[in-house]
Structure 1
Amino acid sequence: MHELTRTEAIDLVGRGEAEQELPEKMRADVRMLGALLGRVLRESGSPGLYDDVERLRLATIAAYTDESPEAFERAAAIADSFSIERADEVARAFTVYFHLVNLAEEHQRVRVLRERDGRPEKEDAADSVAAAFVRLAAEVGDDTALQRLQALRFHPVFTAHPTEARRRAVSTSIRRLVTLLGEYDASLRGGADERRAQRRMLEEIDTLWRTAPLRAEKPTPVDEVRAIMAVFDETLYTAVPHVYRRVDDALQGPAAGGRAPIVRPFVRLGTWVGGDRDGNPFVTASITKKAAGIASEHILLGLENSANRITKTLTLSAETTPPAAELDALLQRLSSADEDGAADAAKRAKVEPHKRVMLLITRRITATRRRDADLAYRDPAHLLADLRIVQDSLVAAGAPRQAYGHLQQLIWQVETFGFHLAELEVRQHSAVHAKVLAECVAARDEGAALSTQAEEVLDVFRTIAQIQHRYGPGAAGRYIVSFTQSAHDLATVHELARFAAGPGGTPPVLDVIPLFETFADLQAAPEIMAEIIQHPEFAKRLDATGRRLEVMLGYSDSSKDVGPVAANLALYEAQALIAAWAQDEGIQLTLFHGRGGALGRGGGPANSAILAQPPHSVDGRFKLTEQGEVIFARYGDPNIAMRHIDQVAAAVLLASAPSIEQHNREAADRYADVAATMDRASRERFFSLVKADGFAPWFATVTPMEEIGMLALGSRPARRGLSVESLEDLRAIPWVFAWSQARINLAGWFGLGTALDAVGDVELLRRAYDEWPLFRTVIDNVGMSLAKADQRIARRYLDLGDRADLADLAADEMALTRRWVVEIAGGDDLLANKPVLQRAVKMRSPYVDALSLLQLRALRTLRTGEVSEAELPGWQRLLLLSVSGVSAGLQNTG
């Protein structure tokens, strides 16, 4: 066995992190993983690679700590000295390092959660659903709190927006390393298990090093569907019911499991993967149908396996646990429909009636998956009815623990996931609808032929109808209209659905959802909603759903439209106005938040954002998009997924507490003048940059925006046209992604410094930070964004363009914003009030700097145009490698 030497123990990670106050166990994990990587670089890298990695690593650490121009220039000179082949290897080495640090951090989070759960008298976290219920009950009474708990709804919607820079092969390798790190953690130090785990980790890190880090081609929409299925299979199928169980255990105490749970399933999953065709020509009606089929296959297989496991444990004899009359009747019905199954069940469970029934139920689930029409369940409601008969019979026979144990978990899974797993939502742009409707009218009135695009749009409605018929009405039906600017944009969807159904045909059941994205559209939203609910189809649907209505708000394009500060304020105001209108109309409103992972797209901690929302804009219901790297960060590990769901659901429940609603209302009123000043000043500053002549091509020059489009991230194109002549040509994700790569993160904060300067009163702003939740959320998120930025590196990117005026404008605003954020939040540096986060950022930053210097070199070379045709692929590859590495280091892209 190779013994790790003291020298290897500090390889790659030791010197920089030793000075940071990291948890000891995590520090040990990082040291060990870094040492293994150092060994891999020596064994599998080209000669001298390890030494070159060390030279650059130590130089960037030195430049980060002393901040002198000379130290920075020394680090840059080392990055510039490498051959293109060596730079490629160095970039890959630092990227693998970040993958290892990320998994060590994730492992530490899991370790902390397990240690907390393992304490004999563990306190329920202050931000858990159980704690939120107790606090809410103290304000509104137990009965009202219970009603709100049982009406609670958290609805994450997974999207395929291209922000996950890692290949799936890389992600899979990292998941294997996570498992091995857990085995290493559990082994005895110095023993055979430790040596075996370490040897296997060394093998896996070597595999990770040898795996091509960049996708050879873009994933197809079906590839994206299957990637999301991995999260469901490995995490969500079991994690979601475990959250319900934990909440019920906490609230019922010793009685939990021995009587009916008081918690009702409060998670519903949605997905745009395979359904979102706004700007993605590769998502067709055929793809949508395949996506629904893949999801149904996964959930039915999961339910089948769960039912089979429960069946094996229900070895309760009729003598000790006599069946109720309803169970006998169910057995007769199932046996008549499935004579072969009944004969087999009679042999396998001669004196175990509950097991016999479950055997037949399991066969019907299998038949549903295999599309055996004679035995298949028509819909999830029929399966639930059968399972509840089994449950009630067990309770009547005095076996409540069997009734409310694993069987209850299966019931929760059916209630949560149905036969469709996640509701498949369709999204399309309002302009496409208008164009196709005009074609349909012309075809009807003038006999004109429909274009291929029009036929495809109509096929989508037919596909929705087919999905509803096959998997149930909950499988599809939400139809989002991008860039909704009028009530007519929404009514058009129903007209198209009628055209698709044809004369005498029945359109699918649709919930048409407006997506308000720009500043002007957000302001017009209440008026548009007031008009559309008078429309016959909307009025009919409101009556059918108990006056439920959904409205989606876009964070990305509103921020790109008027800047992040004005967008945040406009979104708050729009929510307040829409919520007030809904209350007046007796409408049960759900606001759907189109948030991204990055701060420029509404990212940041979801629970604190929820608690900062306007009164009645949450009311126990919260829906948001989850995408790219955020999906795997929040839902990739079962323990982290359960914690995340618990935290967000707790905030959703607590947001309607009278004290919180009153606090948010009073704070918004108290600081209305501050908000107005910030809105005006920030917009003027933002427009002075983005509306300057030549801004769009300058932006494309000083960031790797064009090159990001070459990354095979997702199936969706990165921009709407062939070139970027204005911001309107560019999608919000690459807008944010490009600025983060340039280490300036401009999309998340630009204009805030000027806005705060316009207010000018430090004490007033500090009071606002303490008293106004929305303001505090903005300042904290910008603090995190600026902490991940780097002024010196950002300046080098800005100077790539021949516009000193724009470069100075961006750099000056960055410095001004940084000064004000530190002044308001307190301390002597960014994130001083969040030391754990500050340490995590400082641990990573020197290593991100190394990749940024390599990226800058590649970008500078490409921008000069003095590259031979033979050399061009190498420089482009280095740039893309560095983009992938910086994404891993910063842990967010778009």
Structure 2
Amino acid sequence: MKKTNSEQQQDIRLLGKILGLGIHESEGKPIFDVIETVRRSAVSFRREGNIHDSEVLLDKISSLSDDEANILSRAFSYFLHLANLAEDRDQNKRHRRIQLDKKNDPAGSFKSTFLKLKEKGISTAQIRQFFTQACIVPVLTAHPTEVQRKSTLDLHREIARCLSLYDSPLTEEEQAELETELAGHIKTLWLTRMLRFNKLMVDDEIENAIAYFTNTFLQAIPKLYARLNHYLGALQENDSDSSPPILPAFLKMGSWIGGDRDGNPNVDASTLKHALLRQSTTVFEYYLGEVHLLGSELSLSTSLTNVSEALQALSDLSPDQSRHRIDEPYRRALIYVYARLAATARLLTKQNIAIRHTHQAEPYSSPVTFANDLEIIIDSLRQNQASSVIPLRLQGLLQAVRVFGFHLATLDLRQSSDVHERVITELYKRAAITFKNRPVDYASLGEEDKVELLLAELNQSRPLVSVWQSYSEETSKELDILRAAAFVRKHYGKQAIQQSIVSHTETLSDLLE
């Protein structure tokens, strides 16, 4: 523990030193000296409780101009940012040391969990069966208390990446280069506006969520599945069930951002469509990048290995005519896959996001047909003693397709039951529907009558909404949302929207509305 704390303090001192040099350069020596005096006096007062230090602090701070006070507050704010990064690194290193301790399997790890299950007599087949029934969907929301800008968070990631490089031995030149890079990132952080000028809009929240997928989920979730597959395979070696481990996509992502209308008048049909467009564009950019890299990596030659009939058929469909790849069916097949994927992206996003020139090809009808082509490539490698190639990129890509589809994350709709009641009331009024020989005034009905009326309505074949009627702004907006949801499900697949959440529910009618 002492060693870890010492390492953390070294990181904090290094980052603080670089920050101080940057402030000295940008703001000048006088204010830098003030910051240092305040820092030393605060540390001394905290440790010793010396009244003199307290007086120095009060004197220095009370004599600052507004601009100087702003610089001082920014200096200590950014120092705390950097100290938090050092603490995060320390926690990561502790976690890593626990993982490397072969004497003890960390509680809650896949390995220890599966071993405990085996000790209780649960077979690998039973574990696999569990995953066929499991459903885990973390849901992203737009957190109103997140005040840090994406620019700041991006710089944090770069600084954290630089710190992680200190884990390996460095030459003097490498250490100097690393400190230069750190200085550049920290100076950029210092000169970056800390707060936003304006309140985040829904489009901004969508972009913030997309950044987490790009930086985290698209890479991390396939790796998680790979580790699960690894441990299932290890358990299966001595298991009487010799079938390969199967992991369905039990873990997927969800989001409320762009579909949550409860209390947010800025979310409408166009917002819903935009959210799915950005999500789809992001996942296609990832897939196209991965397939492009696979095309570079899978250079296997038929002069050295065989391929399956299905792979050869896929290769024969390729528009690639290069004589340099005539004996490289995997590359040729992937060029065909890339062309189809690019065509699908153009169809669904209305953009040309391919990173290389492609030939005309038929779009994939669904993520399943894209996954089928990847499975052909995987099966061919497995059948021809090249299974070790599969985990390099193919397995992760296939798992990503099963998890993220063409929509990236399932977008939940959400609205208050109060809004639904007002909309239903207007729809019945405009449609001139009668109930128990009276015109329906839905809002004034008792709960039993509401339930009876709504259940009867659900069994009606005629629509309650008419294109010939004019509706209020609120009702029109809600109807547009439903039409947009139907468009999204048809366009991106049924997994794009699966839930409509009703908030503030108190009765059965609140759900039936």
Report if the CA contact (8 A) 2:110-2:231 is conserved. Answer: no
Q: Per-residue displacement from partner, 1:810-869 (whole Å, max 9, x unpaired)?
A: xxxxxxxxxxxxxxxxxxxxxxxxxxxxxxxxxxxxxxxxxxxxxxxxxxxxxxxxxxxx
After the TM superposition, which residues 625-664 of structure 1 pair with which residues of structure 2 at under 5 Å, given as runs?
Answer: none
User: Equivalent residues in 2 for 1:600-611 (5 A)?
Assistant: none
Match of 2:260 in 1: 276
1:129/1:255 CA distance change after superposition, 3 Å: closer
Aligned residue number for residue 200 of structure 1: 181
Q: Secondary structure at the match of 2:413?
A: strand
Structure 1 residue corresponding to 2:377, chosen from 371, 384, 390: 390
Distance 1:426 1:322, change over 3 A: same
The structure-2 alpha-carbon separation of the partners of 1:188 and 1:324, relative to structure 1 and needing over 3 Å to count, comes to closer
Contact 1:314 1:354 in 2 (8 A): yes
AA of the residue aligned to 1:367: A
Structure 2 residue 387 is the aligned partner of structure 1 residue 366: no
Within 5 Å, which residues of 2 pair with 1:482-881? 482-492=503-513
C-alpha separation between the residues in 1 aligned to 2:52 and 2:495?
A: 62
Report the equivalent of 1:29: 11
Contact 1:137–1:145 (CA under 8 A) maintained in structure 2: no
Matches within 5 A, 1:433-512: 433-445=420-432, 449-492=470-513
Residues 282-361 of structure 1 aligned to structure 2 (within 5 Å) = 282-318=266-302, 320-330=304-314, 335=317, 342-344=318-320, 347=323, 349-361=325-337
How much has 1:72 moved relative to structure 2? Answer: 7.2
The structure-2 alpha-carbon separation of the partners of 1:33 and 1:344, relative to structure 1 and needing over 3 Å to count, comes to same
1:180 and 2:167 aligned: no
Question: Are the counterparts in 2 of residues 137 and 144 from structure 1 also a CA contact under 8 Å?
Answer: no
Q: Whole-Å Cα distance in 2 between the matches of residues 125 and 58 of structure 1?
A: 41
Deviation (angstroms), 1:329: 4.9
Q: Which secondary structure does the structure 1 equivalent of 2:164 belong to?
A: helix
Paired letter, 1:352: E
Determine if contact 1:79/1:87 at 8 Å carries over to the other structure. yes
Structure 2 CA distance for aligned equivalents of residues 209 and 314 of structure 1: 44
Give 1:399's aligned amino acid: A
Q: Would the alpha carbon gap of residues 35 and 289 (structure 1) be closer, same or farther in structure 2, given more than 3 Å must change?
A: same
Aligned-partner residue type, residue 160 of structure 1: A
- CA deviations 1:272-296 (Å, max 9, x no partner) are 1222221112222101101101110
For residue 450 of structure 1, give the secondary structure of its aligned residue in structure 2. Answer: coil
1:269/1:417 contact within 8 Å kept: yes
| TM-score for the superposition, normalised by structure 1 | 0.48
8 Å contact from structure 1 (residues 367, 375) kept in 2: yes
Structure 2 counterpart of 1:51, from 10, 29, 33: 33
Aligned AA for 1:286?
A: S
User: What is the CA-CA distance between 1:146 and the residue it aligns to?
Assistant: 3.5
State how far apart, in whole Å, the 1-side matches of 2:104 and 2:323 are.
Answer: 49
Match of 1:164 in 2: 146
C-alpha separation between the residues in 1 aligned to 2:255 and 2:112?
30
3-state SS of the aligned residue for 2:194? coil
> Which residue of structure 2 lines up, in the alignment, with residue 218 of structure 1?
199
Distance in 2 (alpha carbons) for counterparts of 1:238 and 1:355: 23
Between the aligned partners of 2:299 and 2:244, the Cα distance in structure 1 is 21
Whole-Å Cα distance in 2 between the matches of residues 129 and 481 of structure 1?
36
TM-score (norm 2): 0.80
Deviation at 1:43, TM superposition (A): 2.4
Shift of 1:484: 1.7
Range with bigger deviation, 153-162 or 261-270? 261-270
Contact preservation (8 Å) 2:307, 2:380: yes
- How far the C-alpha of 1:194 sits from its partner, in A, is 1.4
In structure 2, how many angstroms separate the alpha carbons of the residues matched to 1:473 and 1:458? 19
- 2-structure distance, mates of 1:67, 1:491: 65
Aligned to 1:480, the other structure's residue is in SS state strand
Aligned-partner SS, 1:169: helix
Q: 1:199 to 1:394 in 2, by over 3 A?
A: closer
- CA deviation profile, 1:170-206 (whole Å, cap 9, x unmatched): 22222222233334554636x1221222123223222
Contact 1:260 1:404 in 2 (8 A): no
Distance in 2 separating the partners of 1:305 and 1:192: 33
Q: Could you tell me how far 1:403 is from its partner in structure 2?
A: 4.3
Shift of 1:490: 1.5
Unaligned runs of 5+ residues in structure 1 are: 1-18, 336-341, 493-894
Cα–Cα, structure 1 residues 401 and 151, in superposed 2: closer, same or farther, change >3 Å? farther
Match of 2:91 in 1: 109
- Count matched residues: 463
User: Aligned partners of 1:309, 1:111: CA distance in 2, in Å?
Assistant: 31
Structure 2 counterpart of 1:284, one-letter code: D
Deviation at 1:20, TM superposition (A): 8.7
Aligned to 1:148: 130
1:241-262, Cα deviation, whole Å (9 max, x unpaired): 1122223334434999x99544
Query: 2:48 and 2:101 mapped to 1: Cα distance?
Result: 46
Task: Tell me the CA shift for residue 60 of structure 1.
Answer: 4.1
State the secondary structure of the residue aligned to 1:240: helix
Residues 63-72 or 402-411, more deviating: 63-72
Question: Over aligned residues, Cα RMSD in angstroms?
Answer: 3.3
Amino acid at match of 1:421: L
Residues 140, 257 of structure 2: 8 Å contact kept: yes
1:184–1:198: 8 Å Cα contact kept in structure 2? no
Q: How many Å apart are 1:220 and its aligned residue?
A: 2.2
Query: 2: CA distance between counterparts of 1:70 and 1:478?
Result: 63
Partner of 1:126: 107
Cα distance change, pair 431–55 in 1 and its aligned pair in 2 (3 A):
farther
Change (3 A) 1:282 1:407: same
State the partner residue of 1:741. Answer: none
Distance 1:140 1:490, change over 3 A: farther
3-state DSSP class of the match of 1:136? helix
Q: Distance in 1 between matches of 2:382 and 2:3?
A: 54
The 3 A distance-change label for structure 1 pair 440 and 344 is: same
